[in-house]
Structure 1
Amino acid sequence: MENIALSQSTHKTSIFVPVVGLSLFALASGYLMSLIPLSLTFFELNASLAPLLASIFYFGLLLGAPCIASIVTRIGHSKAFILFLNILLCSVVAMILVPQSWMWLLSRFIAGFAVAGVFVVVESWLLMADTQKQRAKRLGLYMTALYGGTAIGQLAIDYLGTTGHLPYLVIMGLLAAASLPALLVKRGQPQASEQHSISLSALKTLSKSAILGCLVSGFLLGPIYGLLPIYVSQDMGLDQQTGLFMALIIMGGMLVQPLVSYLSPRVLKNGLMAIFCLLGTAAIFLLTQHSIVSLSIGFILLGACAFALYPIAISLACDNLPSNQMVSAAQMMLLSYSVGSVIGPLVAISFEQMEHGLLLYLGASFMLTSIYLGGKLLVNTRPRLSAP
């Protein structure tokens, strides 16, 4: 897999442009993710299209992840960031102009490719740090900006609604605004030089737990983004509170990032992921209760646990790698996340005939991952008997 070797420029790389641009992108993306399944009826599209739209988006993410490095190397981080944002903007325009199933599926596939570009550009920009603590802090800032913007974007469901063209026009405006920092600020951008790749032997040394963490993150977040809004609205009968509860999920993901940044360099990351998966199982139990307090706590805890896995996993993958292989590792992690995100919504559908089907799927994903990581941790830390 290709990688970008980031040369040291004469000035420090600024994190202002990627963080501000990412925040505006997250506002639009958060609103769009929940808006799409809820606006299908307005555009006279079948509601059964929702899981397919979620899966094909992540399929685009999956195919786009390995292709981004060469594009960034040729045109640079700033131009690549603008390019991918505008591709995403055009995909939204196409959905409004041609409200047909085939066009929406095609647009979401293209959007997945574009979002993969946004993620890899921003992650590679922010990973240009010398120590694990600096990387953890920057990843924490990255996740906070991403999830904070996404949480606020979810609230737009209640204020701007899910019908008509206005919601999509607002999203288009936010995506256009996200390009402005990269257009206006020219200083502090990373410089791309020659490309390097992680060899096959080096790929084998990447932490299996890190790959699993990203894969399970996709198993969880694909259905949370693509199916949970409909589940909350219809199955739970909370149509008026859908935006609020989705915002609580993302808010939980944002609030946990400082804790992840603090703990990640200090404790065993395998154990940390296992603990968050165990807490995620408890969150699913709370969501089966009818109390508004239990539901609120459950949604916040669900978001905290689901969104904690990816930054911990990518930090684990990068721990022992040289700086000129960081982006390849990030691409590998994004690839694993994308595979999980494609499969997750399709597997979750098989649970829909059961009571609390989607919640059972999420709970099983958390529990099995916790058991595996916990067991692996016990095996690795068990003292070995020395031969007499």
Structure 2
Amino acid sequence: MTIITHDNVENNIVTPVVGLTFFAVASGFLMSLIPLSVTHFDIDLSLIPWLASVFYFGLLVGATCIQRVIKRLGHRRSFISFLTLVALTVVVMILVPHQVTWLVARFVAGMAVAGVFVVVESWLLMANCSKQRAKRLGLYMAALYGGSAVGQLAISVFGTDGIQPYLCVLLLLFMATLAPILIRSGQPHSHDQQSISRKEIRHINRPAIIGCMVSGLLLGPIYGLMPSYLTHISVFAEHTGLLMASIIMGGMLVQPIASAMSTRMSKSLLMAIFCMLGCLAVMGVLESSTLVMMGFSLLLLGASSFALYPIAITLACDHLPTEKMVSATEMMLLCYSVGSVLGPLLATTFTEVGNGLIMYLGVCLITTCIYMLMKSAETISSGQKPIAG
């Protein structure tokens, strides 16, 4: 049972959601801009995969040390600090366009982005009840994915040549920082935040940990490898942008559905259902002969893949007091980051198989579905409340 404190009453979500929305647009724009603009800065194309890898490694490292920053500075000032740090890495990349500089900048950016995620997620999860948490996290994921989708479209508007697109990214990051600067009230109190002990880690819901890790195992390859996969399908190559947008749109549309259902049924069973839908989507992708069928299959694949993380993180926090929320979200982000780093590497082992990436996603989804069904059955047989996962 969640402890209701004065912090919960004061806590509102305007600042993190507004700031996150602008940040998501900037981040989505920047993630696509970097690989497309390296030649303009006379940087070798072979550096592109390393820039992506070092960013996710920074995300992984950052997920281990965010709690101490939040405890010292509070959520609002930490939010400002991490957003400012991301902006500074962009400035350094513009001023010093060198391979080593860019690698270091992307690593630091990964750590800062981890801070943004932990700040926003823990801020929203410090609510009075699990139902309110689910609604807030659904709004968080919708803002994140919606902003990322808009950021992808910015490429066609602002282009990739010169420093002008990077200045647009800096402007968006500045707009994101304005939210916590101007809205000074409503942040949760962070001075009493506590770490989760090793003993408590053993008692955190295992399906929650697995759900976060599998989310990374799925989304890492979807973000990093799916565009290349779609480009090499001759029938749909010219529609790669549209099909990638379908995946992200599926992730947006599923958030209110996932948040509503997570308060009415076992969360492990709900994750099993979404994994089952993902398996159907994989079959649809493999059998698609028309653009409409491919688009719908990828929409369903995006919905099933993007639904896992918010369900898993609310499951992890269901029975934790508010002073443990930052530590819990930090640990869940660490699990997601591990999956994001390993996912593309594991997916490449399927390259010798036809439609290797899709087969990899199918294996992840079906094994996770079986695991979640087994854990849900254990919960029911043990007589626990289904909503506990």
User: Structure 1 length as normaliser, TM-score?
Assistant: 0.90
Question: 5+ unaligned residues in a row in structure 2: which ranges?
Answer: 384-389
Tell whether the 8 Å contact from 1:65 to 1:117 is kept in structure 2 after alignment.
yes
Tell whether the 8 Å contact from 2:276 to 2:369 is kept in structure 1 after alignment.
yes
More helix as a share of residues: 2
Q: Distance in 2 between matches of 1:181 and 1:375?
A: 44
Tell whether the 8 Å contact from 2:207 to 2:375 is kept in structure 1 after alignment.
no
Q: Is 1:221 matched up with 2:253?
A: no
Of 117, 123, 129, 1:125 maps to 123
Give the CA deviation at 1:205. Answer: 0.3
1:180 maps to amino acid? L
Tell whether the 8 Å contact from 2:193 to 2:326 is kept in structure 1 after alignment.
no
Q: Secondary structure of the equivalent of 1:191?
A: coil
Q: Is 1:266 matched up with 2:267?
A: no
1:356 maps to amino acid? N
Deviations 1:215-273 (A, max 9, x none): 01111111222222333334557565333322222221111110111111111111111
Tell whether the 8 Å contact from 1:9 to 1:191 is kept in structure 2 after alignment.
yes
Q: Secondary structure of the equivalent of 2:64?
A: helix
Alignment of 1:134-145 (within 5 A): 134-145=132-143
With 11-20 and 29-38 compared, the bigger mean Cα shift is at 29-38
2:202 maps to amino acid? K
Distance 1:37 1:374, change over 3 A: farther
Question: Counterpart in 2 of 1:55?
Answer: 53
Give the CA deviation at 1:154. Answer: 1.9
Distance 1:103 1:379, change over 3 A: same
Question: Counterpart in 2 of 1:102?
Answer: 100
Alignment of 1:1-388 (within 5 A): 8-9=6-7, 12-43=10-41, 45-235=43-233, 240-288=238-286, 289-382=288-381
Q: Distance in 2 between matches of 1:69 and 1:333?
A: 13
Q: Distance in 1 between matches of 2:88 and 2:149?
A: 23
Distance 1:278 1:102, change over 3 A: farther
Q: Distance in 2 between matches of 1:320 and 1:374?
A: 21
Give the CA deviation at 1:11. Answer: 6.6
With 32-41 and 324-333 compared, the bigger mean Cα shift is at 32-41
Distance 1:162 1:79, change over 3 A: same
Distance 1:383 1:11, change over 3 A: closer
Tell whether the 8 Å contact from 1:219 to 1:343 is kept in structure 2 after alignment.
yes
Q: Distance in 1 between matches of 2:174 and 2:103?
A: 22
Q: How many residues align?
A: 380
Q: Distance in 2 between matches of 1:231 and 1:93?
A: 32
How much identity, in percent, do the aligned residues show? 54
Q: Distance in 2 between matches of 1:305 and 1:90?
A: 35
Give the CA deviation at 1:93. Answer: 2.6
Distance 1:295 1:92, change over 3 A: farther
Give the CA deviation at 1:192. Answer: 2.0
Q: Secondary structure of the equivalent of 2:350?
A: coil
Q: Distance in 2 between matches of 1:44 and 1:137?
A: 46
Q: Distance in 2 between matches of 1:92 and 1:241?
A: 30
With 279-288 and 16-25 compared, the bigger mean Cα shift is at 279-288
Q: Distance in 1 between matches of 2:87 and 2:235?
A: 33
Q: Distance in 1 between matches of 2:326 and 2:45?
A: 38
Across the aligned residues of Structure 1 and Structure 2, the Cα RMSD in angstroms comes to: 2.5
Q: Distance in 2 between matches of 1:87 and 1:383?
A: 48
With 20-29 and 154-163 compared, the bigger mean Cα shift is at 154-163
Q: Secondary structure of the equivalent of 1:194?
A: coil
User: Structure 2 length as normaliser, TM-score?
Assistant: 0.90
Q: Distance in 1 between matches of 2:161 and 2:357?
A: 25
With 284-293 and 326-335 compared, the bigger mean Cα shift is at 284-293
Distance 1:204 1:24, change over 3 A: same
With 127-136 and 224-233 compared, the bigger mean Cα shift is at 224-233
Distance 1:237 1:292, change over 3 A: closer
Give the CA deviation at 1:23. Answer: 0.4
With 233-242 and 142-151 compared, the bigger mean Cα shift is at 233-242
Tell whether the 8 Å contact from 1:60 to 1:111 is kept in structure 2 after alignment.
yes
Q: Secondary structure of the equivalent of 2:192?
A: strand
Distance 1:362 1:235, change over 3 A: same
Q: Distance in 2 between matches of 1:228 and 1:370?
A: 22
Question: 5+ unaligned residues in a row in structure 1: which ranges?
Answer: none
Tell whether the 8 Å contact from 1:151 to 1:249 is kept in structure 2 after alignment.
no
Q: Secondary structure of the equivalent of 1:192?
A: coil
1:364 maps to amino acid? V
Distance 1:175 1:232, change over 3 A: farther
Distance 1:306 1:164, change over 3 A: farther
